[in-house]
Amino acid sequence: MTRFSAPIAEQIWDMKYRLKGADGAPLDLTVEDTWRRIARALAAPEAEPALWEDRFYAALEDFRFLPAGRITAGAGTGRSVTLFNCFVMGTIPDSMAGIFDMLKEAALTMQQGGGIGYDFSTIRPRGADVLGVAADASGPLSFMDVWDAMCRTIMSAGSRRGAMMATMRCDHPDIEAFITAKQDPARLRNFNLSVLVTDAFMAAVKDDKPWELHFGGKVYHTVEARDLWNRIMRATYDFAEPGVIFIDRINAMNNLAYCESIAATNPCGEQPLPPYGACLLGSINLARLVREPFEALAELDEDALDELVATAVRMMDNVVDVSRFALPQQEAEARAKRRIGLGVTGLADALLMVGLRYGSEEAARQTERWLHRIARAAYLASVQLAREKGAFPLFDADKYLASGALAHMDEDVRAAIAEHGIRNALLTSIAPTGTISLYAGNVSSGIEPVFAYAYTRKVLQRDGSRTEEEVVDHAVRLWREKFGDAPLPDYFVDAQTLSPAEHVRMQAAAQKWVDSSISKTINCPEDISFDAFKDVYLQAYETGCKGCTTYRPNAVTGSVLTVAESSEKRPEAETGADVVYLSDPLDRPQALEGSTYKLKWPDSEHAIYITINDIVMAGRRRPFEVFINSKNMEHFAWTVALTRMISAVFRRGGDVSFVVEELKAVFDPRGGAWMQGKYIPSILAAIGGVIERHMVSIGFIEGEGMGLKSDPRYQAMAVGDTPRGPACPACGAYEMRMVEGCMTCMNCGHSKCS
């Protein structure tokens, strides 16, 4: 019998977390092998590893405790990858050498698989004097473009591109450019953006006062605070970015305020971290702990919860000791503070199982009670670890207990910390958990409401046919098993039917007992007024949230998956007719039509010959393969590589015109050449021009410069398309949706956040 309750769960395990050899052959034969691998690896630091291996295995069994993807995929594999999900990099110096040192550190971190956050507020604004070189500064946005280009070239562990968060203070002179930076769909596509909003700024907004934008003691501009706030709100209303981080509240409530200052977060926002801060994540699956679901006596097994939390804290503490780190500064920071981020998933499903409507006042009260129980159990478990193994090195009892987050902690817990210390400086955080929630049987993600109770997943087969697969929410599946086709009760609500105020209520209820932060998306209806939209952020600020992220579907952001009104009519996740999955390349026919072009690069003895062959699909001719040949042996290696790479991209289907723009953007530091009255920055750019002219000649694109400006898998909309979600970077389907806090593919389950 398989432990998986749905085919998609097993597919996620096989694709993301199953250990395989270099030849692709599975080494984890079952999910039990995966659990055993993780348990054994995390028990290694213990004095009695065999004892704790069995206890750790029991926690993992049946998806009760879900370590984050880095741990699940990497623990016990022997591979040189980090088990930490997220990092905030060092403070960026305001110097060219320092900036590029930081860029190198970011590349090394991404290479090992970590998502990173950066505060760009430390870089002088555009137009500021650069002493000693008689030049003006290009500003932080220009360097963010450099980071973005680096991220495009670094594949993080597990063949996922790195994720990045960029923050900027609300008083930086370039904040207005930062707010609108991603309104260009080809710019900063690997970044999430958030504005660091201070208490002073919020007071100025309320009082309608002027606001100074300054850097290095110099005031560059003075704006109206309300005008700047409205610009932030308008950008996120129309483009879903930037997010807002209430940075003063984060620092005031930080357990470690006495020894660190925070100015950035990880890519999803649930982990505010200091320079070189690192945090690992894991989630308690509340949906697995409800006894007698949907019955009159349904309740969460709180004794089992306490035990599971204590075991999870111990497992995560051991991750600090067994993980690799890209940089020594990250390792030193992690070991000095031993912060972990234990959270929950399946909250909405658990509320449904005990008969509560997500977003109601009673559901918020129950959420607060459950999160309080988890926080209490986690802190007491960490105290016990301190008695056994020692407190974290920077622990100072008086300063630690004086922090904002500990002020409302239970007195017996405070007394235990004062007497014995605590092993982990911070313990709780709530991540989006998109992929691991699917892996656990499609439980609701994090503290988000259920997004869709059921939807049909259409899978394109190699022969062109499609198979249909129903993906059902965990709680709905249990309801069906108990009650058959009986209608769902009225308290079954989803993300789209909730009001924004109800979303905020749930986030605020959870935040009280989460010492780090929470990744949550406030879903807003498309027709919400701008003033009502702004009120969502004010409500989040007034109710104690540490940040706010909203999603309002529109022509720019794409629509969300629509939940059918009846259980019989379910939304469908379907790819367009001309989209082919990345895992299924097009088959090559016996014969293809094509053209050969001669390219003579100035000062080169030999010409380059470029052959482009086409295939006809759905009555449309499109490029299928490229051959690049030259008698110049200096060109041999890179022309072969280019031939193979471009052909591989062409054979994947979709709109591949972005290849042209990528090639045309390459410049040669030795200089380009003038050809036919135009300056061409490199020989690669010239090849891109040849491919572009061919695409125009066969009608694949309408004219020069009219191809996609970037890889369509990362585009919000493809050229000529009606508004729809961006294409999935894993399977190519145009089914990426903002689901439960993260952009998630409704077709294959790929998540940007995990």
In whole angstroms, what separates CA 723 from the centre of its chain?
A: 22
Per-residue pLDDT, 7: 82
270 is catalytic: yes
Enter the pTM of the model: 0.78
What pLDDT does 747 receive? 58
Residue 735 has a pLDDT of: 62
Tell me how far the alpha carbon of residue 519 is from its chain's centroid. Answer: 10
Residue in 270, 331, 574, 735 annotated catalytic: 270
Q: Given this model, what pLDDT does residue 34 score? A: 97
The number of residues making up the chain comes to 754
- What is the rounded distance in angstroms from the CA atom of residue 185 to the CA atom of residue 173? 23
pLDDT at 535: 97
- The model's pLDDT over 135-158, given as tens digits with 9 standing for 90+, comes to 788 999 999 998 988 887 764 333
**Per the residue annotation, which of 266, 424, 523, 613 is the catalytic one?**
266
Q: Annotated catalytic residue: which of 268, 548, 728, 742?
A: 268
Question: Annotated catalytic, 266?
Answer: yes
Whole-angstrom distance, CA of residue 653 vs CA of residue 582: 8
CB distance 287 to 443 below 8 Å: yes
What's the confidence (pLDDT) of residue 565? 37
Name the nearest CA neighbour of 107 among 158, 160, 147: 147
pLDDT at 637: 79
H/E stretch holding 505 reads helix 500-511
* Domain residue ranges in the chain: 86-252, 593-714
Contacts of 509 (CB under 8 A, 6+ apart): 364, 365, 367, 368, 371
Which residues in the chain show pLDDT less than 70?
Answer: 1, 113, 132-134, 154-162, 457-467, 555-587, 618-619, 652-653, 669, 708-754
DSSP line for 202-252: HHHHHHT-EEEEEETTEEEEEEEHHHHHHHHHHHHHHHS--EEEEHHHHHH
